[in-house]
Amino acid sequence: MEAKYESAIKVVRTSADAIYTRLSNFKNFGNVFPPDKISNWSATEDTCRFTVDKIGEIGLRIVDRIVNNTVKYGADGDSRFDFNLWVQMKEVAPYDSRIKVTLKANLNPMIKMMVGSKLQTFVDGLADAISRYQY
């Protein structure tokens, strides 16, 4: 069963290029996550692994990049479920961009009941962190 979790559209006071540069390379990405929710961060340019509070270990890999528009991530390695996570960005004026985070996951009904609200919290928290980051 596919489940979809979306953040609200967030305002980011920087260019789409700055957001894209930060999010399209995992070596630049680690300090975007809230430190009270993420631990055990490790990364290469295209992959990362980390532990999410109350969810467990997650591995991500970048599966698609559209310059200054979208970065799409997928599950990497052993994951409890298959998912895609992407960040869309749009510059509406100089130093005024909008972002949205979306997560689609294939979850069985039991897993969805157990982690669905935590996944929404994760998506919302990631969008907030990206919007508050000091580029």
Q: Which residues pair with 48 in a beta bridge?
A: 43, 60
Q: What percent of the chain has pLDDT over 70?
A: 95
Give dist(CA 131, CA 125) in Å, integer. 10
51, two tokens:
């532990």
**Domains in the chain: ranges and CATH:** 2-132 (3.30.530.20)
Give dist(CA 23, CA 25) in Å, integer. 6
DSSP class of 49: E
pLDDT of residue 80: 66
Q: What is the pLDDT of residues 40-58, one digit of tens each?
A: 889 999 999 888 777 778 8
**Average pLDDT score over residue span 19-25:** 95
Provide the residue count of the chain: 135
